[in-house]
Amino acid sequence: MAGESMTVSTADGDFRCYVAKPDGAGPFPAVVVIQEIFGVNRFVRAVADRLAGQGYLAVAPDLFWRIEPGIDITDQSEAEWQKAFQLYQAFDVPKGIEDIAATIATVRKSPACNGKVGAVGYCLGGLLAYLTAARTDSDATVSYYGVGIDNFLAEGEAIKRPLLLHIAG
């Protein structure tokens, strides 16, 4: 398993994704790994790598590409936190969901994918995972500590496939 990249094309332009492929011939079920406010950073790549080690084709789209492509920061300094919150404030959630839907569609067509595509997200990505379950054809979705889900509860009626929410007390 090694990190690769993939390009997803949309009407608004193209963006890159980090891809971790499992060992073996495939095709494999896929998981879209939805970033936090820190971009497709070491944590997100490690999640993708771990999923690939478990037999999934893991794809992490760069959802900040419209603001600043290639964001890769941590939570280790005040400057990085400030940068992350600036990105979060500038982020267009509906466009992000469109990009996730485009990623799902692109991955589904990949010869490395068996046609099944789920999604997992953390924090901002947890909110986006919830909205992915409501607004896309993801086969299954998992959200970890999604922020702001309470503002979108009415969209829960649109969820027709499995969704698992992890919310801290």
Of 121, 62, 69, 128, nearest in space to 93 by CA: 128
Q: Which of 24, 32, 33, 27 has the alpha carbon at shortest distance from 53?
A: 24
Architecture of domain 3-166: 3-Layer(aba) Sandwich (3.40)
CA–CA dist 134, 13 (Å, integer): 24
Rounded Cα distance between 155 and 146, Å, is 14
Domain ranges of the chain: 3-166
Q: In this model, does residue 160 exceed pLDDT 50?
A: yes
pTM of the prediction? 0.94
Q: Name the token pair of 137.
A: 């054809």
Residue 11: is its pLDDT beyond 70? yes
What's residue 1's pLDDT? 42
pLDDT per position as a tens digit, 54-103: 999 999 999 999 999 999 999 899 999 999 999 999 999 999 999 999 99
Q: d(Cα 53, Cα 48) in Å, to the nearest integer?
A: 9
Residues 6+ apart with CB under 8 A from 152: 127, 130, 131, 134
